[in-house]
Structure 1
Amino acid sequence: MVAEHVEQAEDPGAALAAIRILGADTFAPVLLTGEALAPQDAEAVALSLTALPPSRDVAPAPPAGPEGPWLMAWRDWGTATVLALLTDGGTGVPPTVPAPLPPPGPPQGEPAGSGTGAEGWPGWSVRMGQLSTLALPGLDGPIHDAARAAPLALARGATRAVLRRDYPTAARIARWLAWLHTDGVPLALDPAPLVEHIEVMAGGDRLALDTAIARRLITS
């Protein structure tokens, strides 16, 4: 499917850029079903990483550094890591592991803990949502450890996004809750009705993709 997308595109360069933006979600049909990755699709993803190479610089995590390069570095890490996992090497270049995300600070009125000095859970949960493309089976790393360490912050973030009717953000954070559910982490919020509510209340291609992946994670 990916190779066909590139071959039939009027602008192959734009098609390769689209693969880079989609990131590890390019592999979602394979990772969620156990199907084999077609060799031509693997070649198309590898070409996107060589034609538009990721930065080799390790960007500091926000708020210490700019958000954009750091987010893209993690998304590229996810793409390169899954490609290597599915093809026994991928491009042959090990992906650079970006700086980890500091834990969220404690909610107002609650005792300070290991998160003291970090941003509060509202901004932290939104930032984790921006990395929802990493919430896939087969991927594990510092961002996943951060999710495991703060499931309550993610539950609060998803609830806050729904109450604000920010359904795209809610869907992205719900993916992490679904991933944690699959990972066996106890949650304060059942992700199944949350995802169902988001699907009923909002639409759009990106939101549909996030909720479809979350549903598959929950039922796997």
Structure 2
Amino acid sequence: MIPDRSRTAYQESAAGLARRALGALRGTGGTAMVAEHVEQAEDPGAALAAVRILGADTFAPVLLTGEALPPQDAEAVALALTAFPPARDVTPAPPEGPEGPWVMAWRDWGTATLLALFDGGATGAPPTAPAPPPPPGAARSAASGGAEDWAGWSVRMGQLSTLALPALDGPVHDAARAAPLALARGATRAVLRRDYPTAARITRWLAWLRADGVSLALDPVPLAEHIEVMAGGDRVALDAAIARRLMAGG
């Protein structure tokens, strides 16, 4: 288990990296923001862990602004995946397996896939990702009894929001395409509960779907604007900013 002190250091470093990514997305940050985060950190280990925590969103400013990825950033992400290597075993999807490792496996897949895209595959093939969360109404595992509803499913999809980026597409994205109404209901529910981190994550999927040409029952533009006004924290602000960029044609 990770000691509480280390966990706190990782979370604080991840918040700092999210703040750098937000600045880069808004055009107020410097270049090579990932490499700078690692090089300037008092605890390089925590900084590398932060890169893995932020995951594919380390590439968000590049994907959404059209800027070139600094080679130092690619090296920093590769170093983080070396220091904290993704699991190579296929992780069973919940409820057969624990949710945490399953979510991390998908997030690692997104990070490694984008890294391979930007560095020409020099880092090797991305890790094997597990099965995606089947959308409500689709075939579900016998263990779940077919009882998983749109609320629980949308929250789980929100945990995979770092995959809601251009240049990423796969089974999780197909699951989002298959249930846009469930995501709209999930985002609305989170806002009504004032759970803005969850609302921001699910709204990213709605923004990705809109950019993908999917018809939605809910306009995600005012939703993202509301979250930006009401929520606090760098991570939530980054999610909302990514959503707005996706809807603006990023």
Give the equivalent residue in structure 1 for 2:165.
136
Query: Cα deviation per residue 1:176-200 (whole Å; 9 max; x = unaligned)?
Result: 0000000000000000011111112
Task: Provide closer, same or farther for how the CA distance between residues 216 and 90 of structure 1 changes in structure 2, counting only shifts above 3 A.
Answer: farther
Give the equivalent residue in structure 2 for 1:47.
79
Give the equivalent residue in structure 2 for 1:194.
223
Trace 1:104-183 onto structure 2 (pairs within 5 A): 104-105=136-137, 114=139, 117=146, 119-183=148-212
Contact 1:84 1:91 in 2 (8 A): yes
Contact 1:103 1:118 in 2 (8 A): no
Task: Provide closer, same or farther for how the CA distance between residues 90 and 182 of structure 1 changes in structure 2, counting only shifts above 3 A.
Answer: farther
Q: Distance in 1 between matches of 2:147 and 2:63?
A: 33
Q: Distance in 2 between matches of 1:128 and 1:186?
A: 18
Contact 1:46 1:90 in 2 (8 A): no
Structure 1 range deviating more: 17-26 or 197-206: 197-206
* TM-score normalised according to structure 1 size: 0.93
Q: Report the identity percentage.
A: 84
Paired residue for 1:25, among 54, 57, 79?
A: 57
Matched, 1:83 2:115: yes
**Could you list the runs of 4 or more consecutive aligned residues of structure 1 that deviate by over 6 angstroms after TM superposition?**
none
Query: Cα deviation per residue 1:124-172 (whole Å; 9 max; x = unaligned)?
Result: 0000001111100000011101000000000000011111111111110
How many positions carry a matched residue from both structures?
213
Q: Distance in 2 between matches of 1:93 and 1:176?
A: 25
Kindly state the Cα deviation for residue 11 of structure 1 after the two structures are TM-superposed: 1.5
Q: Distance in 2 between matches of 1:114 and 1:55?
A: 27
Q: Distance in 2 between matches of 1:118 and 1:92?
A: 39
Contact 1:192 1:215 in 2 (8 A): yes
Q: Distance in 2 between matches of 1:32 and 1:67?
A: 29
RMSD: 1.3
Contact 2:51 2:80 in 1 (8 A): yes
Gaps of 5+ in 1: 106-112
Structure 1 range deviating more: 90-99 or 127-136: 90-99
Matched, 1:36 2:68: yes
Amino acid corresponding to residue 185 of structure 2 in structure 1: R
Q: Distance in 1 between matches of 2:196 and 2:126?
A: 35
Q: Distance in 1 between matches of 2:171 and 2:122?
A: 21
Contact 1:158 1:169 in 2 (8 A): yes
Kindly state the Cα deviation for residue 90 of structure 1 after the two structures are TM-superposed: 4.2
Kindly state the Cα deviation for residue 204 of structure 1 after the two structures are TM-superposed: 1.2
Amino acid corresponding to residue 179 of structure 1 in structure 2: W
Structure 1 range deviating more: 185-194 or 3-12: 3-12
Paired residue for 1:5, among 15, 34, 37?
A: 37
Query: Cα deviation per residue 1:10-32 (whole Å; 9 max; x = unaligned)?
Result: 11111110000000000000000
Kindly state the Cα deviation for residue 114 of structure 1 after the two structures are TM-superposed: 4.7
- Equivalent position SS for 2:95: coil
Q: Distance in 2 between matches of 1:80 and 1:118?
A: 33
